[in-house]
Amino acid sequence: MESLETILRRVWGYDQFRPLQAEAMQCVLAGRDSVVVLPTGGGKSLCFQAPALAMPGLAVVVSPLISLMKDQVDTLVDNGVAAASVNSTLDASERREIAERIRREELKLLYLSPERLMTPRTLDFLRTINISFFAVDEAHCISDWGHDFRPEYRMLRQLKELFPQVGVHGYTATATERVRHDIARELQLREPEILVGSFDRPNLIYRIERRGDLVRQVREVIDRHRDDSGIIYCIRRADVESLAASLVAAGYSALPYHAGLDDQVRRKNQDDFLNDRVRIIVATVAFGMGIDKSDVRYVIHTGAPKSLEQFQQESGRAGRDGLEAECCLFYTGGDFGIWRKMQSELPPEAYKVALQVLRGIEDFCGGVTCRHRAIVEYFGQTFESENCQACDVCLSEIDVIDDPLVIGQKILSSVLRQGEAYGAEYTALVLTGSREQRILDSGHDQLSTWGLLKDEGKRAVRDWIEQLTGQGFLERAGDDAKFQVLKVTTAGRRLLRGEVAPRLLKPQVKEKREGRVSTVSWEGVDRGLFEVLRAWRRKRAEARGLPPFVVFSDATLRSLARHRPSTPERLLDVHGIGQAKAADYGAEVLEKIAEYCRPNGLPRDVFDVPPPRRQPATSDVSGSAAKHEAMRLFRQGRSVADVCQAVGRSRSTVSDYLAEMIVAEEISDPTFWIDAHSFARIRAAAARCGLDRLKPLYEALEGTVTYEDLRIAAACLRNAPPTP
């Protein structure tokens, strides 16, 4: 059989594996069970699709939704791969034809729902076939700790009993450690390899705001992406209808999607969105898992979802092609009360689980740390960057208040004086001097904290309470979905003593900054040609009855508009174009490029400069004056702190400059930047852990050395001559 590398290039037009793809594929080839967690856009599907072509037999893929199966099968077939799905939309003759193709060994991948797979008839049929492996997509659905638990997935535990010699592999884009172990246990996997990629999506820009004039807030986001596709999520069906109508009335191209719509209407609205006949879909959470649309440039949540897992999954539907995208969440504290009320009818144990995962999204919304860091650390990973340059906090779109310690002490004092028996809304009323009857009846207008923050306004105080809760100075107690009281934590008592200070933010009225990630992927791209190719893609997709992203992703269109190939051979050097796509679309694409380049005097085959790499948002990819000045100062022996101040960049960014200079100039002595004792400790830890990754070094040194210093020291150690 062909090697995985050859298959990747021939079928998908990719030159290299993404992180953990090769390891995941090797598990499949070796027949070893596995659980693979890769973020949306991380190439999860390729982890089972490519090995299916490299192995004899039929790969069976379990998928929860017909629309998800259709998108993946359409994309595979358009790439020249023999794939099919069996679902309720097919008639008996179509199902028989697929069965005959399987018997003739013509198919390589078969997509089925868990319900259909586990019927006696299907299982009996598959026992007569050479099955290469089972791939369980969206595997988090098997865990009741997952954000989208589906009981029918539990039937899949029988696969290892019925097909003991066949590998079973679970794939998901979002799963905490608990969910990962649930997947392995429920699928009855045998000594599985558990591979977990980074939960960070550096191409996404996160913005979290208190909900105010919602239509205005939503329109501001849309207007930043006027010609792009976007998804807007609402908690309730009524909100979907209302917002969609408001957008249409304002001249936007939008349609609603929720479970209350007629099946035919709902299906048509989804197809219109997938095929770019409408730009915006306004939906409940019923929408999204079943789509594979790669060119969604923004996702808006008009209310807080019920878990951080759900937020990561839904916001992750933006930028699946690896290009920049924006994710905005507009929320109020009342959103969490809605979820508690909706979940209060669950069995006691399930309700307890629901409250715990809800707490995660509450802390995220009220948090004041880098949004990328918060997500990554929630899933148990370490975020190494000091500044992501891709969220509202790191882009300085919100400000820190001047006296957070005093404000925090006033709020916590009021909670204590109220006997830790009241919720956040009530506490905000006391602090702002409300004369509501319930406050007068409790005598809390006589408290020393009554009215202490009356000049700040109730909404600001309410925000600060959420932020203090998110930072662990306050906690909510009580299982009543409608009423939870605030209590001061151990950390909160330290704050009251002035031993620690909170970080309290307020919204800052300033223009949204683009974020560094959004400039990299457009570098060298002729935007006029990109639009020409996008218009061609839409027409070509309509003619074939396919969504446009199945023909070519936005990333491929940008690569075409950057390199402008002139021959079929050079076309195959473009990212995302394999042999099947080159044969199907190559002549038309080359003609469109020629028609555009000739009158504009543009050169062709611009492959001498490699396309920009997808880099973490903290990297300075522009070769800016700041970098050159920083390196000049470092050559003079200036410290990292001095250079940060001189060039106006964060410590993380400046440390990147220094590490780059160390590599380029083969420096092995970090004396100017790291003290001798720390360097000796790092060198000793490196002897034990190696230099391949910084996280083992960080953990070996128990977090006493910063990632910036580790990066600098590692660069020097790599340049050092080998020890005799």
How far is Cα 223 from Cα 218, in angstroms, rounded to an integer? 9
- Helix axis angle for 371-378 and 348-366, nearest 10°, is 150
Q: Of 678, 702, 700, which is closest to residue 690 (Cα–Cα)?
A: 700
pLDDT score at 347:
82
Average pLDDT over residues 546-550: 84
Q: How confident is the model over 193-249, as pLDDT tens digits?
A: 999 888 888 899 999 988 888 999 999 999 999 889 999 999 889 999 999 999 999
At 349, which helix (H) or strand (E)?
Answer: helix 348-366
pLDDT score at 614:
38
477 pairs with which residues across the strands? 485
Indicate the pLDDT class of residue 527, thresholds 50, 70 and 90: confident
pLDDT score at 159:
93
pLDDT score at 125:
94
Residue 514 confidence (pLDDT) above 80: no
Residue 160 has φ and ψ, to the nearest 5°, of -70, -25
pLDDT score at 626:
67
- Asked if residue 47 lies in contact with residue 171, where contact means CB atoms within 8 angstroms, the answer is yes
Indicate the pLDDT class of residue 721, thresholds 50, 70 and 90: low
The region, left, alpha or beta by phi > 0 then psi within -120 to 50, assigned to residue 637 is left
Indicate the pLDDT class of residue 289, thresholds 50, 70 and 90: low
- Asked if residue 376 lies in contact with residue 200, where contact means CB atoms within 8 angstroms, the answer is yes
Indicate the pLDDT class of residue 133, thresholds 50, 70 and 90: very high
Indicate the pLDDT class of residue 82, thresholds 50, 70 and 90: very high
Average pLDDT over residues 583-597: 92
Indicate the pLDDT class of residue 617, thresholds 50, 70 and 90: very low
Indicate the pLDDT class of residue 147, thresholds 50, 70 and 90: low
pLDDT score at 2:
62
Report which DSSP code applies to 129. Answer: S
How far is Cα 548 from Cα 229, in angstroms, rounded to an integer? 12
Handedness of CA 440, 444, 447, 450 (dihedral sign): negative
Average pLDDT over residues 293-299: 90
Q: Of 260, 287, 279, 256, which is closest to residue 269 (Cα–Cα)?
A: 256
Q: How confident is the model over 28-72, as pLDDT tens digits?
A: 999 999 999 987 767 889 999 999 999 999 999 999 888 778 888
Single-letter amino acid, residue 660:
E
- Between 142-146, 384-388, 409-413, the lowest mean confidence (pLDDT) is in 142-146
pLDDT score at 634:
81
- The strand pair at 34-37 and 193-196 is best described as parallel
Q: What are the tokens at 504?
A: 């309290």
DSSP for 608-630? SSPPPPP--TTS-TT--HHHHHH
Q: Of 316, 337, 335, 338, which is closest to residue 327 (Cα–Cα)?
A: 316
Indicate the pLDDT class of residue 724, thresholds 50, 70 and 90: very low
Handedness of CA 398, 212, 343, 287 (dihedral sign): negative
- What is the 3-class SS of 395-446, one letter each residue? CCCEEECCCHHHHHHHHHHHHHHCCCCCCHHHHHHHHCCCCCHHHHHHCHHH
Query: Tokens 């807007």, residue?
Result: 232
- Between 450-464, 581-595, 623-637, 686-700, the lowest mean confidence (pLDDT) is in 623-637
Query: Tokens 């543009």, residue?
Result: 602
Give, in order, the Cα–Cα distances in Å from 386 to each of 110, 201, 467, 654.
45, 16, 20, 11
Indicate the pLDDT class of residue 692, thresholds 50, 70 and 90: low
Q: Which residues contact 596 (CB under 8 A, 6 or more apart)?
A: 526, 528, 529, 532, 602
How far is Cα 330 from Cα 632, in angstroms, rounded to an integer? 44
Q: Which residue has the higher pLDDT, 178 or 254?
A: 254
Residue 593 confidence (pLDDT) above 90: yes
How far is Cα 103 from Cα 97, in angstroms, rounded to an integer? 10
- In order of start, what are the domains of the chain with their CATH numbers? 4-196 (3.40.50.300), 204-396 (3.40.50.300), 399-505 (1.10.10.10), 522-600 (1.10.150.80), 625-719 (no CATH)
**What's the mean per-residue pLDDT of the chain?**
85
Single-letter amino acid, residue 59:
A
pLDDT score at 673:
86
Work out the angle at residue 213's Cα, subtended by the Cα atoms of residues 208 and 215, and round it to the nearest 5 degrees.
90
Residue 292 confidence (pLDDT) above 90: no
Average pLDDT over residues 450-460: 88
325 pairs with which residues across the strands? 204
pLDDT score at 481:
46
How far is Cα 299 from Cα 315, in angstroms, rounded to an integer? 6
Give, in order, the Cα–Cα distances in Å from 58 to each of 7, 132, 165, 635.
17, 5, 14, 60
pLDDT score at 508:
45
- The strand pair at 109-112 and 58-62 is best described as parallel
Indicate the pLDDT class of residue 18, thresholds 50, 70 and 90: confident
Give, in order, the Cα–Cα distances in Å from 207 to each of 154, 283, 668.
36, 20, 41
String of b and e for 320-356 (b: at least 16 CB within 10 Å)? bbbbbbbbbbbbbbebbbbbbeebeeeeeeebebbbe
Q: Which residue has the higher pLDDT, 613 or 204?
A: 204
Q: Which residues contact 127 (CB under 8 A, 6 or more apart)?
A: 162
Q: Which residue has the higher pLDDT, 517 or 196?
A: 196
Q: What is the percent of the chain where pLDDT is above 70?
A: 90
Single-letter amino acid, residue 513:
R
How far is Cα 414 from Cα 454, in angstroms, rounded to an integer? 13
